[in-house]
Every structure is written in C-alpha cells, then in structure tokens.
C-alpha cells in the first residue's frame, strides 16, 4: 500500500500564510489522485475542506486553497485565524477503490 506523507506539525502566526503538503511514496501527486483536505479539531469529526485538488465546499473559508505544488498536493492558508488551529489530513485515491490518508499535520496558530 502506498504511503502518504505530511508534515507532522507546522506553526503560523495570526494573519500569516502557511502551506501544508501531501506527498506520495509512489511518485508525484497528480490530479488523478483527486486530493482531499480535511480539517479536524480536538473532539470533533473531520470536515471536508477541499476535494478534487482545489474545489471548495460551501463551508470552506475563502482563506483556504488547494493546489498541486512541486509534485505534491498542497493546502495553503492565507491570513491564518486562531480558529484554524487543528489537525489537517490529506487523502489520495490510488487504483480505485484504494484511498490512503496522510498521517496528518498539526497546525498551530501562534
């Protein structure tokens, strides 16, 4: 099974910009992996922020954006807010139906 890698932790200042990445052990992440990004706060269920690389749901704050960057999927947060402090998980699709999560990135806003 493929391994999906994320930064274990990142810190961003309030109002700052940070990019989380999602890599694959099989090579470059492409649009064919249909990357997702989920946000999970302590004690809460995950929430889908981004699907299919860059698409947002109606509840996704505009300050979040998804892209492909340097062979990885990327989640960029521009103008971080204290409420953005959470764990962020990416999910990649491999040979359907296999789906693999990354280990998560704990984002601190300090």
Residues near other proteins (CB under 8 A) are 1, 34, 36, 38, 40, 45-48, 51-52, 55, 57, 89, 91, 96-104
In the complex, minimum distance from the CB of residue 13 to other proteins, in angstroms, rounded to a whole number: 26
In the complex, minimum distance from the CB of residue 103 to other proteins, in angstroms, rounded to a whole number: 5
β-pair type (17-24, 4-6): antiparallel
Residue 41, token pair as written in the block: 């706060």
* Cβ nearer to other proteins, comparing 74 with 92: 92
Phi, psi of 93 (to 5 degrees): -100, 130
DSSP three-state, residue 43: coil
* Cβ nearer to other proteins, comparing 30 with 40: 40
* Cβ nearer to other proteins, comparing 31 with 78: 31
What radius of gyration, in Å, describes the C-alpha atoms of the chain?
Answer: 13
């Amino acid at each position: 099974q493929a391994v999906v890698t994320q930064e274990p932790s990142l810190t961003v200042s309030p109002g700052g910009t940070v990019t989380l990445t999602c890599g694959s052990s099989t090579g470059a992440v492409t649009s064919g992996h249909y990357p997702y990004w989920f946000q999970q706060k302590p004690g809460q269920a995950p929430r889908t922020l981004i699907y299919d690389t860059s698409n947002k749901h109606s509840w996704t704050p505009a300050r979040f954006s998804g892209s492909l960057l340097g062979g990885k999927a990327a989640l960029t947060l521009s103008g971080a807010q204290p409420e953005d402090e959470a764990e962020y998980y990416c999910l990649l699709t491999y040979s359907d139906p296999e789906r693999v999560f990354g280990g998560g990135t704990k984002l601190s806003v300090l």
